Amino acid sequence: MLVPGDRVAVDGFLATVRFVGEIPNWPNETAIGIEWDVPERGKNDGSINGTRYFSTLHGTKSASFVKLSKLQPRRSVMDAMVYRYASDESLANESASLIDHFDLTIGTKKVESYGFEKLSRLQADFRNLETVTLERLNVAVSSPIDSSLHNLQVLDLGFNLLDWPNLMQIVLQLPNLHTLKANGNRWTRFQGCEPCLSVHTLHLSACDLGNCEYTPKLLSCFPRLQHLHVASNNLSHIEVCRLELLDLSDNSFALLTDAPRAKRLNLSYNDLHIPSLTDSSLQIIEELDLCNTAVSEWSEIDNLAQLRSLTSLRILNTPLLDSIDYDSAISQIFARIPSLVKLDGTVYTTKHRDNFELYFISKVRSKEWKCPQPLWMSLCAKHGLLTEESTPARHLPTPTRVEVVFNDSRFSATLFSSATVGKLRGKISRKLGLSVLEFQLYAQLGHDTEHLANDQQTVAALGLASPVQVKLQPWESGLRQQPYWIKSGVAH
Task: Give Cβ neighbours of residue 188 (< 8 Å, ≥ 6 apart).
Answer: 5, 6, 7, 16, 163
Homologous superfamily, domain 75-382: Ribonuclease Inhibitor (3.80.10.10)
Q: Which amino acid is at 212?
A: C
Question: Distance (Å, rounded) from C-alpha 474 to C-alpha 481?
Answer: 7
At the fourth CATH level, the homologous superfamily of domain 7-70 is CAP Gly-rich-like domain (2.30.30.190)
Distance CA 38, CA 15 (A): 8
What confidence tens digit (pLDDT) does each residue in 298-349 have?
999 999 999 999 999 999 999 999 988 888 899 999 999 999 999 999 999 9
- Strands 139-141, 75-76: pairing is parallel
- Nearest-angstrom CA–CA distance, 131 and 180: 10
Reply yes or no on domain 400-490 having CATH 3.10.20.90. yes
Identity (one letter) of the amino acid at 348?
Y
pLDDT value at residue 167: 96
Nearest to 286 by CA among 266, 259, 302: 266
**CA-CA distance, 216 to 239, in Å (whole number)?**
7
Please tell me the predicted confidence (pLDDT) of residue 88. 52
Q: Residue 128, CB half-sphere, CA atoms under 13 Å: how many?
A: 8
Domain coordinates in residue numbering, the chain: 7-70, 75-382, 400-490
Provide the pLDDT for residue 358: 93
C-alpha span between 232 and 218 (Å, rounded): 17
List, for residues 215-248, the tens digit of each pLDDT value: 999 999 999 999 999 999 999 999 998 899 999 9
Q: Residue 393 has what pLDDT?
A: 46
CA distance 185 to 67: 22
Distances (CA, A) of 334 to 147, 370, 395, 476: 54, 14, 19, 40
- The whole-number pLDDT of residue 182 equals 97
pLDDT, mean of each 10-residue run, the chain (492 residues): 92 94 90 93 91 90 93 92 72 45 38 50 75 95 86 96 95 96 94 93 97 93 97 95 96 96 97 92 94 97 95 96 89 96 94 93 92 94 78 55 62 68 76 74 67 74 54 54 52 45
Taking the C-alpha atoms of residue 81 and residue 76, their distance in angstroms, rounded to an integer, is: 9
